[in-house]
Structure 1
Amino acid sequence: MLTGTARQNGFIVEDIEAACLHWAKRFGAGPFFVVRHAPLASFRYQGVESEPDLSIALGNLGELQIELIQQHNDAPSPYRDFATAKQSGLHHTSAWVNDYDAEQARQRELGAEPDCEGQLSDGMRFMYYGSTSVDGSALEVADLGHDNEFAAGFELVRQTHLAWDGDEPVRFLN
């Protein structure tokens, strides 16, 4: 059992900008903040170090954060495997925790080992359980940071959505 709160659904997409526009026009989600070629400090999938080239977009649909992920290379990852099997769709639900290390230790005590772990260059860590699933049942645990620094970013995405008038649905951060 997970101690964090499920806050996000993560989708694998073929074209991140087109997916952002689809979510904005069809569902009113957004605006989406896009990081092209997200800098990864580390990434390990099924016990093997890897270097997937990922673009990531974050936007809200009400209180639910929508994450869109596009992989640009063939490096081993759950995103590549999902895209190979299904092209696009719901990959995971993400729970956000304040004490990432404690949650990881707790999961290991329960006999659960993440099959994918990574860290962005800004320090944000994430781990997946069941990441090889192609039915949307993978679980991601994301680190909110020791001082809630990553939670502040997620809150900015949420607040921007709540005040959003539909203009500029895609906002590139790099």
Structure 2
Amino acid sequence: MLAVRQLAYKINDLEAAAEAHHRQFGSGPFFVLRHVVLASSQHRGVERPFDHSSAYGQWGDMMVELVVQHNPDPSALHDMFPHGSRAEGLHHAALFVDDLAAAIARFESEGAPLAQLSVTAGGTAFAFVDTRASLGHMLELYEPTEQLTGFYDFVAAAAQGWDGRDLLRELG
């Protein structure tokens, strides 16, 4: 079974979105990574910059990501929310997969093409497959490396017994 590990929302302002999400749902604290450094990023097979910042928080048993893209270049985010649009909303659900290449191939064979494949500076690869036709949003796929699952555990642990103070915490 491919369980959802994270829900991610395209937003326009990290701080305002984190405060609103916390106020509405009690989520947090949020760990902010600004201008995520990528080793590579291909959108629809073309190498393109993907300058984005994200805030990661805990929402019950699930991680929530709030993401904003800074550059105007095509991306999986801009596939759903074109550059210049002030619209916000659900962009993707994230899944852990055992084999990223095999999962991409499987989704492509089922009519969900690869929209974007990126690799962080730390070596974590993540892929957005375009499931808008069937789900109304993208799926993000990545292998559950020790680094990645450790980050998920770190965010979840910070929420345990959290008193609601210090909502935004800068990373990096």
TM-score by length of 1: 0.85
Task: State how far apart, in whole Å, the 2-side matches of 1:54 and 1:109 are.
Answer: 29
SS of residue matched to 1:11: strand
Q: Would the alpha carbon gap of residues 108 and 81 (structure 1) be closer, same or farther in structure 2, given more than 3 Å must change?
A: closer
Q: For residue 172 of structure 1, what is the amino acid of its counterpart?
A: E
Unaligned 5+ residue runs, structure 1? none
Q: How does 1:45-124 map to 2 (within 5 A)?
A: 45-84=43-82, 87-104=87-104, 106-107=106-107, 113-124=113-124
- Residue in structure 2 matched with residue 22 of structure 1 by the alignment: 20
Task: State how far apart, in whole Å, the 2-side matches of 1:144 and 1:62 are.
Answer: 20
Q: For residue 45 of structure 1, what is the amino acid of its counterpart?
A: H
Moved more, 107-116 or 89-98: 107-116
Q: What are the Cα deviations for residues 120-146 of structure 1, in whole angstroms up to 9, with x where unaligned?
A: 11111111111667x74211112212x
Q: Would the alpha carbon gap of residues 136 and 172 (structure 1) be closer, same or farther in structure 2, given more than 3 Å must change?
A: farther
Identity over aligned pairs, percent: 33
Moved more, 110-119 or 49-58: 110-119
> Residue 104 of structure 2 contacts residue 129 of structure 2 at CA under 8 Å; is this kept in 1?
no
Task: State how far apart, in whole Å, the 2-side matches of 1:126 and 1:58 are.
Answer: 16
SS of residue matched to 1:75: coil
- Residue in structure 2 matched with residue 143 of structure 1 by the alignment: 143
The Cα of 1:106 is off from its aligned counterpart by 4.8
Task: State how far apart, in whole Å, the 2-side matches of 1:78 and 1:104 are.
Answer: 15
Q: For residue 89 of structure 1, what is the amino acid of its counterpart?
A: G
TM-score by length of 2: 0.86
> Residue 126 of structure 2 contacts residue 142 of structure 2 at CA under 8 Å; is this kept in 1?
yes
- Residue in structure 2 matched with residue 153 of structure 1 by the alignment: 151
The Cα of 1:154 is off from its aligned counterpart by 0.6
Unaligned 5+ residue runs, structure 2? none
SS of residue matched to 2:142: strand
> Residue 78 of structure 1 contacts residue 131 of structure 1 at CA under 8 Å; is this kept in 2?
no
The Cα of 1:163 is off from its aligned counterpart by 2.5
Q: For residue 154 of structure 1, what is the amino acid of its counterpart?
A: Y
SS of residue matched to 1:30: coil
Q: In angstroms, what is the RMSD of aligned CA positions?
A: 2.2
Q: Would the alpha carbon gap of residues 50 and 156 (structure 1) be closer, same or farther in structure 2, given more than 3 Å must change?
A: same
Q: What are the Cα deviations for residues 29-77 of structure 1, in whole angstroms up to 9, with x where unaligned?
A: 1101010000011111112111021001111111111011101110111
Task: State how far apart, in whole Å, the 2-side matches of 1:83 and 1:31 are.
Answer: 26
Q: Would the alpha carbon gap of residues 161 and 104 (structure 1) be closer, same or farther in structure 2, given more than 3 Å must change?
A: same
State the number of aligned residues: 169
SS of residue matched to 1:76: coil
